[in-house]
């Protein structure tokens, strides 16, 4: 669950006013420049628009999303279109310096028409591009839809564009992709209903991301079964799936996905929240063509079973804060519609081959699971999600396994630096302030701090790493752990390539997000990246340590959690006694 998405309230129609003024201006300039010039400009707009849509996805996913993830889709369409439009128009003016002559009235009227059409396509591309900016649900008074139960798109009857330039543009270029500009991957099928997508992706709670980076999510499986064959579904499951589940001619489609902690995909507080509006199944049939189908809910693993969470209100969110998350999206679609792709936040994902899709009714129901019990019946331990671990002093046991490069000495729940640093005596680090207005090191920092000879002023003092409120850091002090013999050293060196992680009682792995090398002279080397975790001892400069130096690893975990061991792959581990409880 989570905060309720912003439904949108009618506001001053700024977007509509701007578009109308722009179209009037384009029609006026078209009439002034005449039919030939305006027609040439229209041809340039069509050509540039087609090129921009063609390079949009590879440019965005291949380059921009790595550097400006939240604005990548918007910049990836608008900037190339604007640049190419200017360049190609200049080229055309050089190649065709003179106008053809027409009757003045014909030239004026048809020139205005060509100018208006150019304006519609240009404004449509701009609206589609800006629609993927991280704005709120209402974009200058433009938001014609809301989301109902089962992810159904509801036309609000207000908030649409007076001149639907986005719909005209999406339809026009989608048609070209299957006609004059046809390709094996037509836009109409691979980027369907862009006019709807720009509204869907922004219907979300505040601070929820609108993008999914490549690699952050992958499809791991799929199940398809005729709803009529799922007669063993419990009454609670059947009710949660909605009325279409019992109607003839529908099938249940479930797509399994795995999500990883990658920058841009996560929300501002490094959690993952997914409303129904950001997940769509693309289907295709001979009669109805391409359709975007919303999920009726999602299944999430819990122990050895699954729990089905219906999207029965606009406040339901798929939510996770763990390094990896698994969600199975559940759709009810007409039997004649074949699933083609899964789209999450504009990212298109291929589905498994037909022979890999699970179809047995019993297996599908088992993967679907049942709705959660009411909270009052959840049972012992539901309040904090912890088992029998007790808060208290935790010690680290001896190594079990081979030497693997590092040995854990002690641990504590802390995001504090070993020594406070001064902004004035540090390089390469970025800073912020926490809820107590104290200086903190922000993620994405690698730098160093010199020894401080005197006290640090309050305004320049930094004493901890920045973490959101639902997370905590576990600090582990380590030392090099090298074998003496040549054979042992070689084996330890190979073992050091294994990932370093803390394991909790549920089997989840929590990796290193920060480290600090505190030197004997009290200077410090500091690294912090919450998204690109340290995966092996080979990435740590522990081999450069001198006598008197100390080295600390920081593991970011989600509260509540119960940690039971420090591990280096499956070759070495040190158990915690008792398990460390983080609340």
Tens digit of each residue's pLDDT (9 = 90 or more) over 166-218: 999 999 999 998 887 878 889 989 999 999 999 888 888 877 889 999 889 99
Give the pLDDT score at 386: 42
Q: Is the pLDDT of residue 392 over 80?
A: no
pLDDT digits (tens, 9 = 90+) for 44-89: 999 999 999 999 999 999 999 988 998 999 999 999 999 999 999 9
The closest alpha carbon to 280, from 133, 136, 145, 140, belongs to 145
In the predicted structure, residue 375 carries a pLDDT above the cut 50: no
Higher pLDDT, 46 or 534: 46
28 or 492, greater pLDDT: 28
Check residue 156 and give its pLDDT: 73
Q: For 436-463, write each residue's pLDDT tens digit.
A: 767 889 988 899 998 876 678 888 899 9
If residue 581 lies in a helix (H) or strand (E), which one and from where to where?
A: strand 572-582
Cis peptide before 106 (omega within 30 of 0): no
Residue 234: pLDDT band (50, 70, 90) is confident
Q: For residue 303, what pLDDT is reported? A: 76
In the chain, where are the structural domains located? 14-200, 217-374, 395-582
User: How crowded is the C-beta side of 154, counted as CA atoms within 13 Å?
Assistant: 13
Output the CA angle 514-518-519, nearest 5 degrees: 145
Residue 544: pLDDT over 80: yes
Give me the pLDDT at residue 492, please: 59
Instruction: Specify whether the CB–CB gap between 335 and 272 falls below 8 A.
Output: no
- Taking CB atoms within 8 Å and a gap of at least 24, the contacts of 233-237 are 233/365, 233/368, 234/370, 236/370, 236/371, 237/308, 237/365, 237/368, 237/369, 237/370, 237/371
- What is the spatial distance between Cα 173 and Cα 195, in angstroms, rounded to a whole number? 12
What are the residues whose beta carbons fall under 8 Å from the beta carbon of 380, sequence distance 6 or more?
none
Position 123 scores a pLDDT of 97
pLDDT at 54: 95
Token digits for 66?
Answer: 């790595």
> Which pLDDT belongs to residue 362?
83
User: What is the model's pLDDT at position 99?
Assistant: 74
- Report which of residues 86 and 248 the model is more confident about: 86
148: helix, strand or coil: coil
Instruction: Convert the pLDDT of each residue in 104-146 to its tens digit.
Output: 899 999 999 999 999 999 999 999 999 999 887 788 888 888 7
User: Is pLDDT larger for residue 565 or for residue 239?
Assistant: 565
Write down the residue that tokens 């939510």 correspond to. Answer: 319
Please say whether the beta carbons of 217 and 265 come within 8 A.
yes
**How many angstroms separate the Cα of 575 from the Cα of each of 400, 476, 568?**
8, 13, 12
Q: Contact at 8 Å (CB) between 511 and 563?
A: no
Q: How does the average pLDDT of the chain come out, rounded?
A: 86
Q: What is the largest CA-CA distance in the chain?
A: 96
Burial class of 47 by CB neighbour count within 10 A (0 to 12, 13 to 18, 19+): middle
> Per the structure block, which two tokens stand in for 114?
């060509």
Q: How confident is the model at residue 377 (pLDDT cuts 50, 70, 90)?
A: very low
Q: What is the rounded CA–CA span in Å between residue 328 and residue 566?
A: 31
Rounded to an integer, what distance in angstroms lies between the CA atom of residue 51 and that of residue 58?
12
Q: How confident is the model at residue 490 (pLDDT cuts 50, 70, 90)?
A: low
Q: ∠ at Cα 509 (506, 511), nearest 5°? A: 155
Q: Is 435 within 8 Å of 420 (Cβ atoms)?
A: no
pLDDT, position 507? 86
Q: State how far the Cα of 189 lies from the Cα of 443, in Å rounded to an integer.
A: 39
pLDDT digit string (tens) for 4-19?
444 444 456 899 999 9
pLDDT above 70 coverage of the chain, percent = 90
For the record, the structure tokens of 346 come out as 């504009």
| CA triple 48-164-129, angle to 5 deg | 45
Query: For 379-403, what is the mean pLDDT?
Result: 60
Please report the DSSP string for 194-228 in residue order: HHHHHHHTT-S-TT------BTTEEEEEEEEEEGG
pLDDT for residue 384 is more than 50? no
pLDDT band at 580 (very low <50, low <70, confident <90, very high): very high
Three-state SS string over 397-414 comes to EEEEECCCEEEEEEEEEC
DSSP, residue by residue, 525-556: EEEE-SSS-B-SGGGSGGGG--TT-EEEEEEE
Interval 534-544 mean pLDDT: 86
pLDDT of residue 137: 78
Q: Does the pLDDT at position 433 exceed 80?
A: yes
Q: If you average pLDDT over residues 324-339, what whole number do you get? A: 93
pLDDT surpasses 60 at 374:
no
Buried/exposed 85-116: b ≥16 CB within 10 Å, e otherwise: beebeeebeeeeeeeeeeeeeebbebbbbbbb
Which spans in 464-522 are helix H? 486-495
* pLDDT beyond 50 at 390: no
Residue 147 tokens, joined: 């989301």
Q: At residue 385, does pLDDT exceed 60?
A: no
pLDDT of residue 121: 98
Closest C-alpha to 21, from 163, 199, 167: 163
């Amino acid at each position: 669950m989570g905060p309720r998405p912003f439904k949108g309230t009618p506001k001053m129609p700024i977007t509509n006013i701007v578009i109308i003024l722009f179209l009037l201006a384009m029609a006026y300039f078209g009439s002034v420049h005449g039919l030939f010039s305006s027609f040439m400009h229209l041809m340039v707009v069509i050509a540039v628009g087609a090129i921009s849509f063609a390079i949009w996805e590879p440019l965005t996913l291949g380059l921009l999303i790595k550097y400006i993830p939240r604005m990548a889709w918007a910049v990836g369409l608008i900037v190339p279109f604007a640049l190419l439009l200017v360049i190609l128009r200049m080229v055309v003016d050089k190649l065709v310096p003179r106008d053809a002559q027409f009757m003045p009235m014909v030239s004026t009227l048809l020139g205005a028409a060509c100018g208006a059409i150019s304006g519609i396509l240009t404004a449509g591309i701009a609206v589609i591009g800006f629609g993927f900016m991280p704005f709120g649900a209402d974009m200058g008074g433009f938001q014609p839809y809301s989301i109902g139960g089962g992810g159904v798109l509801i036309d609000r009857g207000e908030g649409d564009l007076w001149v639907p330039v986005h719909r005209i543009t999406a339809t026009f270029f989608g048609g070209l992709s299957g006609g004059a500009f046809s390709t094996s991957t037509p836009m109409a099928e691979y980027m369907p209903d862009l006019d709807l997508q720009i509204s869907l992706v922004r219907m979300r709670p505040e601070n929820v991301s609108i993008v999914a980076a490549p690699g952050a999510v992958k499809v791991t499986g799929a199940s398809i079964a005729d709803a009529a064959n799922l007669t063993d579904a419990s009454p609670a499951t059947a009710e949660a799936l909605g009325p279409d589940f019992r109607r003839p001619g529908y099938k249940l489609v479930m797509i399994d996905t795995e999500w990883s902690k990658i920058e841009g995909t996560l929300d501002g507080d490094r959690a993952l929240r997914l409303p129904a509006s950001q997940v769509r199944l693309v289907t295709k049939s001979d009669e109805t063509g391409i359709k975007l189908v919303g999920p009726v809910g999602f299944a999430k693993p819990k122990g050895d079973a699954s729990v089905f969470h219906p999207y029965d209100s606009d406040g339901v969110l798929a939510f996770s804060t763990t390094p990896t998350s698994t969600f199975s999206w559940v759709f009810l679609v007409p039997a004649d519609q074949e699933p083609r792709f899964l789209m999450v936040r504009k990212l298109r994902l291929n589905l498994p081959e037909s022979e890999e899709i699970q179809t047995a009714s019993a297996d599908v129901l088992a993967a679907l699971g049942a709705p959660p019990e009411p909270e009052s019946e959840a049972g012992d331990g539901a309040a904090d999600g912890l088992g029998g671990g007790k808060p208290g002093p935790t010690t680290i046991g001896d190594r079990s396994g081979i030497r693997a490069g590092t040995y854990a000495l002690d641990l504590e729940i802390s995001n504090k630096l070993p020594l406070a640093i001064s902004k004035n005596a540090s390089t390469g680090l970025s800073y912020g302030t926490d809820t107590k207005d104290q200086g903190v090191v922000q993620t994405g920092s690698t730098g160093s701090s010199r020894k401080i000879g005197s006290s640090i002023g309050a305004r320049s003092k930094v004493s901890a790493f920045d973490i959101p409120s639902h997370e905590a850091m576990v600090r582990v002090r380590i030392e090099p752990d090298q074998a003496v013999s040549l054979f042992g050293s070689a084996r330890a060196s190979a073992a050091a390539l294994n990932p370093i992680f803390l394991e909790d009682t549920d089997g989840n792995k929590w990796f290193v997000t920060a480290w600090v090398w505190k030197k004997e002279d009290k200077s410090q080397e500091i690294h912090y990246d919450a998204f690109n975790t340290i995966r092996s001892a080979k990435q740590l400069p522990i081999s450069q340590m001198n006598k008197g130096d100390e080295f600390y690893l920081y593991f970011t975990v989600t509260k509540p959690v119960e940690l039971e061991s420090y591990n280096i792959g499956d070759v070495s581990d040190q158990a915690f006694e008792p398990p460390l409880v983080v609340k």
